[in-house]
Amino acid sequence: MLAHIHIGGITIQTFGVFFALNFVAWGLVAARRLSELGKPPDWAYEMVVTAVVGGLIGARAYYLIQNHSSLQGSLLGNVFGGSGLIWYGGLLGGAIAVLLWARWRDFLNLHLVDIAAVGLPLGYAIGRIGCQVAGDGDYGKPSSLPWAMGYPHGTTPTPPGVTVQPTPIYETVSMGLVALVLWHWRDRFRPGVLFALYLVLAGIERFIVEFWRRNSHVAAGLTAAQLESLSILVIGTIWLALAARTGGLRRRGVGRPVASAAV
């Protein structure tokens, strides 16, 4: 584990490095796709900055809401200090911020969400590499499997001699493959279908992985993340069903798409 990197007297958290790489990858994917759609590639950088700000606010707010009973100190201190970021909160905050940006740029259409369909799993996969390297507590339950491992020097260390399920590795591999497949399918389906597929695949992935993670059950023997995953899985399934009934899933004709398909 390498929770911190020391360079010239400066300590850098390794998770922060991968968090930044997540948005670099986002920018590269968005710039390429915007260019294919006939839009300015520079919009990608505006989109990324907007997503970073909105994502950080949403992730921190979600953490504070979920852990309000255990917080200590002033409200202002909890908002701007300490640790705690939650993925789904970041997803919601970043989505709202990017939608506001898209409205300003008159790009509020289904091509926008299809760009997110590739960027979200790619960024998630990169972020989980940071979780694995830092050993930040996102690992799974104790296990004696041949590939189980300990995180004795992580940010949230495991007890000496205890090995656990390396769930960040599972998520990096699975969501990395989702990003790769959806990128290759970007011109195969009608606008909006790619994002619906992402919702279905991401929901299935997180629901399954949660059985190996060490999160607490909140209802019906399921964790909060599993309930949230079921929600996005249902939304994605309904989206696909409606798309199939109103023109089919596949794109008609050949060639690169034109930036239309307004929401």
Structure tokens at 28: 């590269």
* For range 24-31, the mean pLDDT: 92
Q: Which residues are CB-contacts of 145 (< 8 A; sequence separation ≥ 6)? A: 165
* For range 171-179, the mean pLDDT: 97
Residue 1 has pLDDT above 70, yes or no: no
Determine how many CB atoms are found less than 10 A away from the CB of residue 100: 13
Structure tokens at 147: 């590939």
Phi and psi dihedrals of 141, rounded to 5? -80, 160
Q: Among the listed ranges 8-12, 69-73, 247-251, which one has the minimum average pLDDT value?
A: 69-73
CA dihedral 245, 251, 252, 254 (to 10 degrees): 180
Q: For 61-116, what is each residue's pLDDT tens digit?
A: 776 776 655 545 444 444 444 455 666 677 788 889 999 999 999 999 999 999 99
- Specify the pLDDT at position 153: 85
* For range 121-146, the mean pLDDT: 90
Average pLDDT over the chain, rounded to whole?
A: 85
Residue 229 has pLDDT above 50, yes or no: yes
With beta carbons less than 8 A apart as the criterion, state whether 164 and 158 touch. yes
- Would you give the DSSP letter of residue 258? P
Q: Which residues are CB-contacts of 188 (< 8 A; sequence separation ≥ 6)? A: 250, 251
Using CA atoms, how far apart are residues 9 and 174, in angstroms rounded to an integer?
37
H-helix or E-strand spanning residue 10: strand 10-13
* For range 146-156, the mean pLDDT: 90
